[in-house]
Amino acid sequence: MSDHTNTDQIVNNERLEFLGDAILDAVVAELLFAQFPKKNEGFLTEMRTRIVNREQLAYLAGKLGLVEIMDIKRDLHQNRIALKTIGGNALEALIGAIYLDKGFASARDFIVNRLVGQYLDIEKLMTTAVSHKALVMKWAQQQKKVFRFQHDVAQDRKIELHVVTLYIDEEAWFTEENHSRKKAEELCCEKACRKLGLTT
C-alpha cells in the first residue's frame, strides 16, 4: 500500500512540474511580448530562454528558500548540479500548484511580480550573450555524441523557408523553420538546451 502511495506522490510532483513549466513559458512569453512591442520573434525567443532556464530557475528557487524547506538527502547538499535541478523542479511544481489552487491569474501574478519583477533584471539579461548552438556543440563533444543539422527548403510555400532538423547520434531531436538558416539552427539548439538543462 505504501509503495503505491509513494509512486503516486512522485508522479504527481512530475505532473505539477510539467504544468508549472508550461504556465511559466506562457506567462514569460506574454510578458516579453507586451514589454518589447517592436522586437521580433528571434529576440523574444532568446529572451525567454534567458529567463526560463535551469540556472535562473535554481536562482529563483534559492531566493524563495524552496531548497531549504525541502527534505533532501544530506549527500545531495554538496552536489550543486543536483541542487539546481531539485530547486528548479520544485519551483515549477509550485507554479503548477498555485495554478490548480488559485487559477491562472494568481499563477501569472506570482510569476510576474514575485519572480521576474522582484528578482530578475531584464535589462541586464538583454546584454547577456547566449549561443545555444555553441552550448549544444560543447555538450556533444563532452559526451562524445555526433552533432549535425539536416537542411531543407520548404518548396510548397510562397516565401522560401529553411527547414532545419537537429540530429544527435543520428536521432532527430527538433525541427524548426525560419527565413534564416542560422536562426532555424539556433531555435533547434534552444530547444535542445532546455531539454538538456544547459545554461551559460
Q: For 45-70, write each residue's pLDDT tens digit.
A: 778 877 887 778 888 998 988 877 76
| Per-residue pLDDT at 78 exceeds 60 | no
- State the pLDDT at residue 70: 67
Above 70 in pLDDT, residue 72? no
Predicted model pTM: 0.60
Q: Decide if 176 contacts 157 (C-beta within 8 A).
A: no
Active-site amino acid positions:
21, 92
**Least reliable range by pLDDT among 24-38, 98-112, 180-194:** 180-194
Domains of the chain, residue spans: 2-126, 132-196
Tell whether the model's pLDDT for residue 73 goes beyond 70. no
CATH architecture label of 132-196: 2-Layer Sandwich (3.30)
Pick 77 or 47 by higher pLDDT.
Answer: 47
77 burial type by CB count under 10 A (0-12 exposed, 13-18 middle, 19+ buried): exposed
Question: In the predicted model, what is the mean pLDDT of residues 73-82?
Answer: 56
Assign domain 2-126 to its CATH architecture. Orthogonal Bundle (1.10)
